[in-house]
Amino acid sequence: MASLSKSTTSLLTIVFFAFILIPTTGAIPFIVLHGIGDKCSNRGISQFTELLSDWSNSRGYCLEIGDGSWDSWTMPLSEQTSIACEKVKSMSELGKGYNIVGLSQGNLIGRGIIEFCDGGPPVKNFISLGGPHAGTASVPFCGSALICILLDSLLKLEIYSNYVQEHLAPSGYLKIPTDMTNYLEGCRFLPKLNNEIKSTRNSTYKERFASLQNLVLIMFKDDTILIPKETSWFGYYPYGAFDPVLPVQETKLYKEDWIGLKTLDEAGKVKFVNVSGNHLQISGSDMKKYMVPYLEDQTSTEQTVTVSSSYELLSRLWYSFKNLIGLSEDQPLLQTMF
């Protein structure tokens, strides 16, 4: 009996350590940055975040800035980016790295975090849905709500004036191709983000953006919000004209590699994705196909063999233990123990 007890104790000890030594895998977390007029508490955003988290087996967080919808319209993007930067730095969950999922205007904040956020945790993959990366030639459609009436009044003023730049977030990326001088002089966010001004071009922004492991750029075929829709891929109008729309590879931003986009593309790290639907109308199947793979554990493939061999060892130990104490296959362990 003593011998049996000693053997049982030894096997239990081996099983215990086998459990501890089995490698555990898990995807790094991701944050979601919503678009203009939205907020994290809205059902659509919360459901979107939950679905991505469930499908990718990774922890997702919607990062709110200010009160959400109102501040997304009226807070300058530079200020929104600063707030987001401090939030990601304060989240211990992101300390070893994380992914970003950007929706519409949220993409510019996401890129701002990557390029401007000193001391922040590393961003691995950046998934962009309908982002106005090269600007937009029209303020996004708002509607007839009170805030929209106020914004329409602001638009009657000069879009690149100090007042509008300080009180209307989209003015930070409104890019009128026939008014490039005022855009470069007065627009306070996008020219800096895209390293467009030669005299102030910052190599650090380029280095940080080019450090991404993957950049997924999703454009919507029927997008009527972004003008032109190709801005989702960094495509835009040439200076001085509204025609034609230049593909990204023909823009100066790409050819002169202002932000490292060409570097990423030539390394095979940029995925240009075109899906059906209007602005942000992405289907569940497209989310699974084009987004989830970049949120899942990127090391799962190489760890599969290790995990399998560990489980095989544990299985053999468990089989020996069951035989030793006389536990049959169809007998619940808890019932036997009690």
Q: What is the DSSP letter of 24?
A: -
283 is an active site residue: no
User: Which of 138, 137, 141, 114 shows the shortest CA–CA distance to 125?
Assistant: 114
Report d(CA 57, CA 53) in Å as an integer: 6
Angle at 59 between CA 214 and CA 269, to 5 degrees: 5
DSSP, collapsed to helix, strand or coil, labels residue 205 as helix
Report d(CA 15, CA 12) in Å as an integer: 5
Q: What is the DSSP letter of 199?
A: G
223 is an active site residue: yes
DSSP, collapsed to helix, strand or coil, labels residue 238 as coil
3 is an active site residue: no
Residue pair 306/300 in contact by the 8 Å Cβ criterion: no
Catalytic residue among 56, 72, 265, 279: 279
Catalytic residue among 104, 128, 171, 232: 104
Catalytic residue among 58, 171, 223, 232: 223
Report d(CA 172, CA 186) in Å as an integer: 9
Kindly state the tokens that stand for 52. 């991505």
Residue pair 219/159 in contact by the 8 Å Cβ criterion: no
Cis peptide before 122 (omega within 30 of 0): no
Looking at the annotation, which residues are catalytic?
104, 223, 279
